Homo-oligomer: A and B are copies of this chain.
Amino acid sequence: MKTTKKYTLPESEIPKQWYNIVADMPNAPKPLLNPGTRQPLKPEEMEGLFAKELVAQEFSRERFIDIPEEVQTLLKIYRPSPLVRASGLEKALDTPARIYFKNESISPVGSHKLNSAIPQAYYNAIQGIKHITTETGAGQWGSAMSIACKHFGLDLNVFMVKNSYNAKPYRKVVMRTYGAQVHASPSNVTEYGRNVLANDPECQGSLGMAISEAVEMAVKTPDCRYTLGSVLNHVLLHQTIIGLEAEKQMEMAGDYPDKVIACFGGGSNFSGISFPFLRHNLKDGKKVRFMAAEPAACPKLSKGRLDYDFGDSAGMTPLIPMYTLGHDFQPDQIHAAGLRYHGGGQIVSQLKQDGLIESYPVEQIEAFKAGVIFAQSEGIIPAPESTHAIALTVREALKAKESGRKEVILFNLSGHGLLDMSAYEMYLNGSL
């Protein structure tokens, strides 16, 4: 923890608008397609599934979008989040690199996911929606939606990937404590789930399957909408609050990042911290590198093909133009369950194709090793997802040591790992 310094923005400096990178992309993302007609999807075709205002954001090309005042007030419960100079980690690595991290683990649910859960619940509530469905992998998104829905008086059903449901038993209790109903997916609650179980009663589930179940329930339930915690444009939009704050905080620190690093599942925290800085590459000639840390077990950006693919396993969603491992891809049961998604989303995939962002696969064991170094040097036990970002940061910091480069690395600590201690136990026991 040596001489660790944190940069705290005053509450008055919380961003009043989200940043929409679509306005500044050299090549606009290709359109979503209606899977039946293969014609570009129209906003009204999505409004049965998502709240109207969220659909409008999904299709928006406006550069900045106002954050509603009620959402700002709620975000202030834990925001602005601190930017921290990781001097303890620097010392542990004996690197000349200056390392900073944005600490999103301080939210009451322990991750950045609340940044989008609050506005998603808000827009559904003001539209008069009563019921919400969603899916969750590790449970971070499900926890965030649970408290956000409770606040707005929305009833919530969460489909949690079965492997995580069993491996992270405390997560479902968190969601239940906040008042949500949690189903292990595949479940008997939906037709899709029942079909999967009929073919494979031992199926451990995937994010794609859980999405299919949540979508099916949303479509079949009156006054109900579906919500998603990553991949879609409006989710990435909400998460830009991370990078917008970080920009101001890097200025407080008198530094500017050479590299921005985040873990990558569906893109929410990576985009959140990257896009506000990437804007200055696109417009002001900055040359920051944006590096996505993917799990080696699910390397969609690094090893996927660029194609139209479904967002879910059942093929119920629009077709998304993206780097994908295939919507029926079932990744290994790694502990970073939040990174086990098959595709990279519309915006991120276009940016990758245009060479504006990079991606690197990280093995689980390297990730946990870096996570323990970070825990011991900075005092915070990181989520298994976040350890991937830390591992890539460690790699870069050690390269900087070799070459003597005094570069500046900024990474996003997307969440803490206090509900993932069984994974740490396996790592410490050498049984990973």
| Chain A residues within CB distance 8 Å of chain B | 1-6, 8, 10-11, 73-74, 76-77, 84, 88, 106, 108-110, 147, 150-151, 169-170, 173-174, 176-179, 372, 375-376, 378-381, 418-419, 421-422, 424-425, 428
Contact = CB atoms under 8 A, between A and B. Distances in A.
B379 A76 contact: no
B110 A177 contact: no
B425 A173 contact: yes
Contacts of A418: 110, 170, 174, 418-419
A8 B77 CA distance: 11
Contacts of A3: 73
B178 A147 contact: no
Contact of A1 (B10, B147, B422): B147
A428 B176 CA distance: 8
A422 B108 contact: no
7 contacts: A2-B151, A8-B10, A109-B379, A147-B376, A170-B170, A177-B428, A178-B376
Nearest to A425: B173
Contacts of A372: 177
Contacts of A76: 5-6
Contacts of A73: 3
Nearest to A426: B173
A143 to B, nearest CB: 10
A330 to B, nearest CB: 28
Contacts of A8: 8, 10-11
A161 B164 CA distance: 29
A106 B379 CA distance: 12
A6 B77 contact: yes
Contact of A170 (B5, B11, B422): B422
A146 to B, nearest CB: 9
A274 B106 CA distance: 26
A377 to B, nearest CB: 8
A379 B11 CA distance: 19
Given A169-B425, A174-B418, A179-B376, 18 more contacts: A1-B77, A1-B147, A3-B73, A4-B74, A5-B76, A6-B76, A108-B381, A109-B379, A147-B376, A150-B376, A170-B170, A170-B419, A173-B422, A173-B424, A173-B428, A176-B424, A176-B428, A178-B375
A353 to B, nearest CB: 39
A132 to B, nearest CB: 16
Rank and list the top 5 A-B pairs by shortest CB-CB distance, nearest first: A170-B421, A108-B379, A173-B421, A173-B425, A418-B418
A179 B381 CA distance: 12
Nearest to A88: B151
A150 B77 CA distance: 31
Contacts of A425: 169, 173, 176
A1 B376 contact: no
A80 to B, nearest CB: 10
Contacts of A2: 151
A174 B108 contact: no
A177 B375 contact: yes
A5 B73 CA distance: 8
B419 A421 contact: yes
Contacts of A176: 424-425, 428
Contacts of A379: 77, 108-109, 147, 151
A174 B380 CA distance: 10
A177 B419 contact: no
A178 B375 CA distance: 6
Contacts of A378: 108
Most buried by B among A109, A418, A419: A418
A235 to B, nearest CB: 20
Contacts of A174: 381, 418, 421
A178 B379 CA distance: 8
Contacts of A375: 147, 177-178
A378 to B, nearest CB: 8
Nearest to A417: B177
